[in-house]
Amino acid sequence: MTPGVADQTHLPSLFAGNGSETSPWVSRWLLCVALLVVAMVAVGGATRLTDSGLSITEWKPLLGAIPPLSAADWANAFSKYKTIPEYKLVNDGMSLAAFKAIYWWEWAHRFLGRFIGIAYGLPLLGFWLAGKIPNQLKLPLAVVLLLGGLQGFVGWYMVQSGLTERVDVSHYRLAMHLGLAFVILGGLVWLALMARPFDSLVRLQSVATSARRLAVIMVALVFCQVILGAFVAGTKAGMTYNTWPLMDGQFVPDGLWSKSPWYLNVVENLAMIQFNHRMMAYLLVGLAVVQAFTIARRTENGRAIASAWWLAAAMVAQAGLGIWTLLAVDGAIPIGLGVTHQTAAAIIFAVAIWHLHAVWLSARQ
């Protein structure tokens, strides 16, 4: 075997298998569903930024797909919204037209979730019955299906937190909901890459062990950054310290440890929440740039090099977008920038998974 080239007999078991079992359409289907999840993240961001998430006060997994169709239906939906704290304390006197505007955002978010379930479940059944799914992919694909069902429940669990005593949802439950969406997205992208025809997975030059480890670390850190971003969004920490690179005139602002016990500062102190989000962004940009330069110098693995550079470029662009969004705050987060920032996070996570897959193929020689 040529040194530094992966041979199919030495590929990790997750990638080994009979390529003839897999239709290229399986990979394409999974990538399409992944794109739908990215769209779901974008619509979810818009729903949050327009304060639309509590406009539907009931969870009806099936009948909820049908929106109000008559004046009486709209009046009934509006009357239910008027019973929750958000209406009484924030939107008292809201017109029916204004209510419809926020209702449609939440309905679209839920409808897209149902559509993704169908777009995933029905083809999965068809490919499974047609024998187009390799045995090693069956369990992971079934797990993703279960996670999709769980996500619907978690979404409602999040909404419930804002229906009785709060005027918004719990940022802990928001982080759980967004985090699960990214787990599903990562699983879809990884499985789509695994499902490609087998002959496209061989003859990749080895990547250093340190680079493979860093690829794993970056996926984990991007996920952590997503959770930190959910905390920023859920606590509205982005509305404070709207300067850069300093916060209140300091790189490390006062009051980071003002809450007691100390660990509450990480999840409830607005200064700490925004500070952590900033620091994680700097760390990710630095690691991604180092990874790209290192892989480009030490290997000729085209996939690893391309994915590393794309990841580094995406990290830099996302950091710039985050700064722009922060500086553009004027009483509210600009919806366009906020949605773009959240959507870009989903794209970056997908690219990080792609990069991990590219370097992981060379894990065994």
Tell me which of 161, 196, 231 is where a domain ends: 196
Q: Model's pTM, two decimal places?
A: 0.91
Q: Which residues fall within 8 angstroms of residue 351, CB to CB, at 6 or more apart? A: 307, 310, 311, 314
Q: Which residues fall within 8 angstroms of residue 140, CB to CB, at 6 or more apart? A: 187, 191
The rounded mean pLDDT for the chain is 91
Say whether both 2 and 31 belong to one domain. no
For 128-144, write each residue's pLDDT tens digit: 999 999 899 999 999 99
Q: Is 14 domain-assigned?
A: no
Tell me which of 142, 177, 196 is where a domain ends: 196
Band the pLDDT of 205: cuts 50, 70, 90: low
Determine contact, residues 232/48, Cβ cutoff 8 Å. no
Tell me which of 175, 196, 217 is where a domain ends: 196
Say whether both 301 and 213 belong to one domain. yes
**Alpha carbon distance 126, 124 (integer Å):** 5
Chain centre to alpha carbon of residue 180: 8
For 33-75, write each residue's pLDDT tens digit: 999 999 999 999 999 999 999 999 999 988 889 999 999 999 9
Say whether both 226 and 297 belong to one domain. yes
Say whether both 179 and 276 belong to one domain. no
Chain centre to alpha carbon of residue 346: 4
Band the pLDDT of 122: cuts 50, 70, 90: very high
> Which residue is listed with tokens 């005139």?
249
Of 16-20, 124-128, 160-164, 213-217, least confident by mean pLDDT is 16-20
3-class SS of residue 250: strand
Say whether both 162 and 247 belong to one domain. no
Say whether both 156 and 232 belong to one domain. no
Residue 321 CB burial class (10 angstroms; 0-12, 13-18, ≥19): middle
pLDDT at 75: 97
- pLDDT over 90 for what percent of the chain? 83
Q: Is 74 domain-assigned?
A: yes
Say whether both 209 and 268 belong to one domain. yes
Determine contact, residues 338/45, Cβ cutoff 8 Å. yes
pLDDT at 12: 42
Say whether both 61 and 162 belong to one domain. yes
Band the pLDDT of 301: cuts 50, 70, 90: confident
Say whether both 153 and 234 belong to one domain. no
3-class SS of residue 247: strand
Q: How many residues does the chain have?
A: 365
Band the pLDDT of 302: cuts 50, 70, 90: confident
Tally the domains of the chain.
2
pLDDT at 63: 86
Residue of 92, 65, 89 lying closest to 78 (CA atoms): 92
CA-CA-CA-CA torsion for 255, 260, 266, 268, nearest 10 degrees? -90
157 is in which domain, residue-wise?
23-196
CA-CA-CA-CA torsion for 143, 144, 148, 151, nearest 10 degrees? 80
Whether the per-residue pLDDT at 16 is higher than 50: the answer is no
Residue of 168, 178, 155 lying closest to 230 (CA atoms): 178
